[in-house]
Amino acid sequence: MEVLQLLIGGVAQGCVYGLIALGFVLIYKATEQVNFAQGDILMIGAYVALTLIAEAVARGWSIHLAFWLALPLTMIVMAAFGYALDRVALRPIIGQPQFAVVILTIALGFVFRAAAGAIWSTEPQTLATPFTGKKIVLGGVILGAESLAIIVGTAFLSLVLFAFFRYTRVGVAMQAASQNQLAAYYMGIPVKVIFSLIWAISAAVAAAAGILLAPIATIDPNMGFIGLKAFAAAVIGGFGSLPGAVIAGLMLGAIEPFAAAYGSRAGLPKGVPEVSSYIFMLVVLIVRPQGLFAQIYKKKV
Amino acid sequence: MRNIFKTSYVQDIRLFEHGGHVFWYGLLLIVVFAAPLVLPQFFVGEMSLVFIYAVAGIGLMVLTGFTGLASLGHAAFLGIGAYAHNYFVTKVGVPFPFALAMAGFVSAGFGIAFALPALRMTGIYLAIATLAFAVIIEQVFSHWASVTGGFRGVAVAKPNLFGWQTTSEAHFYYICLVVLIVITLGTRNLLRSATGRAMMAIRDSEISAQSMGIHIARTKVTAFGISTFITGVAGGLLAHKLQFISPEAFDLILSIQLLLMIVVGGLGSLHGCFYGAIVVAFLPQFLSLVKDVLPPSIGNIPGLQGGVFGLILVLFILLEPYGIYGRWRKTRLFFEIFPLYRRATFKRQRGYLKTERMK
């Protein structure tokens, strides 16, 4: 039972990692830019949702109505934010070395954190959702409604994204742009707009992850640091693979609670459980430098 | 404008390009050596911090600026250097200069041990691996209490040079200055040597470097070793400057500050380390001054310093990717060839991203 209980909690946490990692991979796959500010976009999304829900509840709307209105609204707001971010900050440095983008997004993360601290204060806050505090007991295993919402939400979003990339014109254009920017441009695909759209989608996914994460964590300007672990998931998954990101996120989420619960009993040194996900990532990178589900091809000269 | 008529290849790799450099660098040397006699105590202390940051910046510059390997975890090597130096001085009783060198070697040992498996990765994978390494090392600092003092940290005494106990800020200033000069000259020489030029070749194109007969893996490991050695030495000095070291001192923020330093200063130039060090060392002081002037609603934002650091970095990447040193070069060229300066001289090349999925 204990194992199953740990596993459920781990899977829920892992879904959040997976969702954030999805955002990383979406951007990387299409633009080969690495967005280190993904966690901070998640943080802003959570704050936007918090503000919207608080506003709606203050007007006497029920929590259900407030939540189900705030969820799509936040995603739309954050999509616009992502689009604007790409247009203003990322587009001018298209074609620059990857390193420039890494530093730029890290720096943007710092700016967002300071801005969030200024707007919403640095006090940790909690987001009230319809799921808060509800529990389902299933054969001795206690299932938090929050965890269930995370798992269902992640599965739903993954399916939507899959269908989007497979069946819509824009989705196919995005795949084309990711495979060869120049060729896609010659085929009449507006590559720059496509990039901005990818940023918009990625920001919306991050916002959804933020809303799903908020009930099991607290909202504060530093909650974006969860992005680092999600980053580890994206790297383990191979950074170019959408299913890889989700699977690796689930793996990381599952490893952590077990390392914490059994680490000291298994004789691991203190501190190892805290960094178990990073150790796992380093091992994977050393054994398979291109990740588990890699998309790297040998260049023909 | 000075025209240098080159008659041999040796001219390209001279320590000083022409007599003017000898004059100006000589003057700078005299000024920094005389500075503690004139400046107030506080500024002398701040200047020694600038020197330490410059040493650390040179360390990171060797790796990131000259070899093209990004590291997001160099604070870990600063930390390793700081703890190792303190351990050698207090527990083993090694004299200060040797302990500093040994701290560098310990740090280099870790760097090489990390680099050997890590060099199969490139680009972003390497950057994230260094980040993971830094997070793990921070945990080691916290839990290996017999050496590091754990969460509580350890106090660091003032340096003692073979029985001569340093007391004032000025003494420490001179120690840092001498270390900085040695490291700067050493790095300058490294960059003139075959190894240094091999590093730059790898940075510019790994494939062409390989086809010119450069041993990529060996050169990269060398770069890692040298970089982490220098950073470790800087860590030893930083331990004395902080007077108290704890795991939180060497967190991700410090790694980012180091990166900020070399990017703002100017990637790929030794001068850049110095400009960047001045910015990073004096910005907190400047902010605390400005805070008093600003309305409290803005001045008291908790993450203000990080936000300002980030904003500066964003503006530099977008507007002046060559950093302060690049701006200085442009300004100088503008005056040297006065009415003939064209903006296109330093224009960034527009290009489509070279995919990294093709290796």
**What are A4-26's pLDDT values in tens digits?**
888 888 888 888 888 888 888 88
Test A107 with B125 for CB contact under 8 angstroms: no
Lowest mean pLDDT among A215-219, B98-102, B134-138: A215-219
Contact of B300 with B243, CB cutoff 8 Å: no
With an 8 Å Cβ cutoff, is B339 touching chain A?
A: no
Nearest to B356 among A98, A111, A114 (CB): A98
In a domain, B134, yes or no: yes
With an 8 Å Cβ cutoff, is A34 touching chain B?
A: yes
Length of chain B: 359
Mutate to test the interface with A, among B208, B319, B353, B358 (most CBs of A within 10 A): B353
Which residues, 6+ apart, have CB-to-CB distance to B275 below 8 Å? B264, B265, B266, B323, B324, B325
DSSP element (H, E) containing B117: helix B96-118
Test B310 with A281 for CB contact under 8 angstroms: no
Beta strand segments in chain B, E: 154-155, 160-161, 164-165, 244-245
Question: How many Cβ pairs within 8 Å bridge chains A and B?
Answer: 157
How confident is residue A201, by pLDDT bands cut at 50, 70 and 90?
A: very high
**What are B18-36's pLDDT values in tens digits?**
778 888 888 988 888 888 8
A13 DSSP β-pair partners: none
How confident is residue B299, by pLDDT bands cut at 50, 70 and 90?
A: low
In a domain, A230, yes or no: no
How confident is residue B347, by pLDDT bands cut at 50, 70 and 90?
A: low
| Amino acid symbol at B152 | R
Helix (H, G, I), strand (E, B) or coil at A239: coil
How many other CB atoms are found less than 10 A from the CB of residue A170?
A: 15
Nearest to B359 among A106, A240, A299 (CB): A299
Interface of B with A in 265-304 (CB under 8 A): 298, 301-304
In a domain, A291, yes or no: no
Test A239 with B123 for CB contact under 8 angstroms: no
Q: Which residue of chain A has the CA closest to B311?
A: A111
Contact of B272 with B325, CB cutoff 8 Å: yes
Contact of A35 with A104, CB cutoff 8 Å: no
Mean pLDDT of A73-100: 87
Test B128 with A231 for CB contact under 8 angstroms: yes
The residue behind tokens 């003017």 is B20
In a domain, A264, yes or no: no
Test B321 with A100 for CB contact under 8 angstroms: yes
Mean pLDDT of B281-303: 76
Angle at A215 between CA A209 and CA A219, to 5 degrees: 75
**What are A107-146's pLDDT values in tens digits?**
899 889 888 888 887 788 887 777 766 777 777 777 777 7
Test B143 with A270 for CB contact under 8 angstroms: yes
Test A111 with B357 for CB contact under 8 angstroms: no
Structural domain count, chain A: 1
How confident is residue B351, by pLDDT bands cut at 50, 70 and 90?
A: very low
Q: What is the pLDDT of residue A74?
A: 92
Contact of A150 with A132, CB cutoff 8 Å: no
Token pair recorded at residue A158:
């993954």
CB-based burial label for B110 (10 Å; 0-12, 13-18, 19+): buried
Range of the domain at A127: 2-225
Residue B80, pLDDT > 90, answer yes
d(CA B188, CA B176): 18
| Cα separations in angstroms, A300 against A51, A297, B181, B207, B358 | 53, 9, 45, 11, 8
Q: Which residues of B touch A182 (CB under 8 A)?
A: 352
Nearest to A269 among B72, B143, B311 (CB): B143
Smallest Cα distance from B72 to chain A, Å? 10
Q: Which residues of B touch A104 (CB under 8 A)?
A: 313-314, 317-318
Contact of B305 with B284, CB cutoff 8 Å: yes
Token pair recorded at residue A224:
């974006």
Test A100 with B313 for CB contact under 8 angstroms: no
Token pair recorded at residue B252:
């991700």
Give the residue from B232, B226, B229, B324 showing the smallest Cα distance to B276. B324
Test B132 with A115 for CB contact under 8 angstroms: no
In a domain, B1, yes or no: no
Test B357 with A100 for CB contact under 8 angstroms: no
d(CA A265, CA A3): 15
How confident is residue A301, by pLDDT bands cut at 50, 70 and 90?
A: very low
Mutate to test the interface with B, among A34, A111, A280 (most CBs of B within 10 A): A111
Interface of B with A in 238-257 (CB under 8 A): 256
Structural domain count, chain B: 1
In a domain, B25, yes or no: no
Contact of B37 with B161, CB cutoff 8 Å: no
The DSSP symbol for A141 reads: E
Token pair recorded at residue A115:
């801005």
Crossing angle of the two packed helices B270-293 and B41-60, in degrees rounded to 10: 130
Test A103 with B302 for CB contact under 8 angstroms: no
Give the CATH number for residue B326. Answer: 1.10.3470
Crossing angle of the two packed helices A226-236 and B123-143, in degrees rounded to 10: 130
Test A111 with B310 for CB contact under 8 angstroms: yes
Give the residue from B325, B355, B312 showing the smallest Cα distance to A98. B355
In a domain, A205, yes or no: yes
Which residues, 6+ apart, have CB-to-CB distance to A219 below 8 Å? A43, A46, A47, A50, A124, A125, A126, A127
Give the residue from A38, A241, A28 showing the smallest Cα distance to B123. A28
Nearest to B136 among A92, A117, A279 (CB): A279
Residue B358, pLDDT > 70, answer no
With an 8 Å Cβ cutoff, is B6 touching chain A?
A: no
Contact of A230 with A21, CB cutoff 8 Å: yes
Residue B171, pLDDT > 60, answer yes
Interface of A with B in 46-65 (CB under 8 A): none
d(CA A82, CA A84): 5
d(CA A111, CA B304): 9
Residue B62, pLDDT > 60, answer yes
Residue B320, pLDDT > 90, answer no
Mean pLDDT of A75-97: 88
With an 8 Å Cβ cutoff, is B137 touching chain A?
A: no
How confident is residue B346, by pLDDT bands cut at 50, 70 and 90?
A: low
Q: What is the pLDDT of residue B348?
A: 56
Would you say the pTM of this structure is higher than 0.95?
no
Residue B95, pLDDT > 90, answer no
How many other CB atoms are found less than 10 A from the CB of residue B329?
A: 17
Lowest mean pLDDT among A35-49, A84-98, B192-206: A84-98
Token pair recorded at residue B161:
């040079």
Smallest Cα distance from B173 to chain A, Å? 31
Nearest to B125 among A94, A118, A285 (CB): A285
Question: What is the Cα B111 distance to its own chain's centre?
Answer: 15
Nearest to B317 among A104, A118, A228 (CB): A104
The winner for highest mean pLDDT among A133-142, A238-247, B222-231 is B222-231
* Cβ-defined contacts of B302-305 (< 8 Å, 24+): B302/A114, B302/A117, B302/A122, B302/A221, B303/A110, B303/A113, B303/A114, B303/A117, B303/A122, B303/A221, B304/A114
Token pair recorded at residue B172:
């420490």
Range of the domain at B208: 39-346
In a domain, B19, yes or no: no
The number of CA neighbours under 13 Å toward the Cβ of A49 is 34
Contact of A30 with A194, CB cutoff 8 Å: yes
Nearest to A93 among B301, B306, B318 (CB): B318
**What are A263-282's pLDDT values in tens digits?**
767 767 777 777 888 888 88
In a domain, A258, yes or no: no
Q: Which residue of chain A has the CA closest to B310?
A: A107
Token pair recorded at residue A72:
């799509």
Contact of A204 with A71, CB cutoff 8 Å: no
Interface of A with B in 111-140 (CB under 8 A): 111, 113-115, 117-118, 122
Smallest Cα distance from B264 to chain A, Å? 11
| Amino acid symbol at A22 | L
Helix (H, G, I), strand (E, B) or coil at A42: helix
With an 8 Å Cβ cutoff, is B71 touching chain A?
A: no
Q: Which residues of B touch A283 (CB under 8 A)?
A: none
Q: Which residues of B touch A235 (CB under 8 A)?
A: 125, 128
With an 8 Å Cβ cutoff, is A92 touching chain B?
A: yes
Q: What is the pLDDT of residue A297?
A: 52
